[in-house]
Amino acid sequence: MAQTPNLDGVLIQWGDRLFYPGNRVVKVKPQPRLDAGAMRQRAAAIRERIEATVVRRAPQVMVKVTGGGRGMQAIAAHFRYISKNGRLDMEDERSETLRGQDAVHELTEDWRFGGSLIDEVGYRREAFNIMLSMPCGTDPLIVQRAAREFAQAELADHKYVMVLHDHQANPHVHISVRAESRHGRRLNPRKTDLHRWRETFADKLRGYGIEAEATRQATRGQNMSHPDLWRLKAKEDGRLRKVRPTISSGDKVGASRAETLKGWMHIGQALAGSTDARDVKLAGSIAAFIREATSSWKRRNESHEIGRELQRSALVVDPQIRR
């Protein structure tokens, strides 16, 4: 009879791939083994992420780079946009509040000369525009506090300003950050950086008692494409000529789906084979989550087949344990 795989080991191996893909390192020397205590702690953290995603359906944070100015002209225009031309309070990296058109002008000049000179129109990105958002119903002031702590942790040594927008459905904070730090290093966020930023923002929100998750779209079985900020502005003004599809597609999306489903399948099978009724119940939640998440995919046969595999795995468990 085949030996039942170690449940904690399966949770760590496949949970890391689902929730912490940026931490995976390949082709290196063998890593030191986790001791029993550390392994249980790591597996418990993965289990908590699984339950938050498939059982509680915790609200997901959004952190997105919406653009960035290639010269002071574009950067100043963004300052005016996020502050509503000085009517909304801006907060800088020193936690000082800036208000009014004169403050926007002074901020522009400070950024222009505060480091390497930023020309009026340039060829490289001199600032990044970041938006941090939570679903409707979240306390806007807590979103603002969490965004402040996020910026202090992730954007240290950079000039930045942030503005809370609570007049729309989803409370969100706009952050404009100068690309060059005080030490001359330039910000260049990549996909792994964005994922870490989402994790940091979610962690800051949880510190205020707000349930928030930063699960990747692929792990959640989603493939939405969020529009750029300039498209949203153009749509509001009636200037948008072409609407882009909101669903991502292509070979990369298909490969990501396949890897995600593989991970959920391994975790679901391991949980279904447990002697703990709670694990079996969680396996059933995973099966339901997969069926729901993949219901809109084109490759329906594949998603149904994986759902049947999880169901067959669950059926081998003693009925008494299910109760």
What does the pLDDT look like over 264-293, one tens digit per residue? 889 999 999 999 999 999 999 999 988 887
Is 138 contained in some domain? yes
What does the pLDDT look like over 225-276, one tens digit per residue? 555 555 555 555 666 666 555 445 556 666 777 888 888 889 999 999 999 9
Average pLDDT over residues 202-209: 96
Helix (H/G/I), strand (E/B), else coil: 133:
strand
Q: How many domains does the chain have?
A: 1
**Which residue did the predictor score with more confidence, 317 or 192?**
192
Amino acid identity for residue 31 in this structure: Q
Q: Which residues does 133 contact at the CB level (< 8 Å), separation at least 6?
A: 61, 62, 63, 64, 143, 170, 171, 172, 173
Is 117 contained in some domain? yes
127-133 and 160-165 as β-strands: parallel, antiparallel, unpaired? unpaired
Is 4 contained in some domain? no
Q: In this structure, what token pair is assigned to residue 267?
A: 């975790």
> Do 214 and 192 form a contact (C-beta atoms < 8 A)?
no
Give the single-character DSSP code of 22: G
Residue 124, domain extent: 62-214
If 0-12 CB within 10 Å is exposed, 13-18 middle and 19+ buried, where does residue 191 land? exposed
Q: Which residues does 135 contact at the CB level (< 8 Å), separation at least 6?
A: 59, 60, 170
Give dist(CA 132, CA 187) in Å, integer. 18
Which CATH number does the domain housing residue 130 bear?
3.30.930.30
> Do 202 and 149 form a contact (C-beta atoms < 8 A)?
no
Is 261 contained in some domain? no
Q: Does 45 score more than 60 pLDDT? A: yes
Is 26 contained in some domain? no
Average pLDDT over residues 167-177: 92
Is 129 contained in some domain? yes
Is 158 contained in some domain? yes
Question: Taking Cα atoms as reference points, which of 225, 246, 192, 224 lies closest to residue 293?
Answer: 224
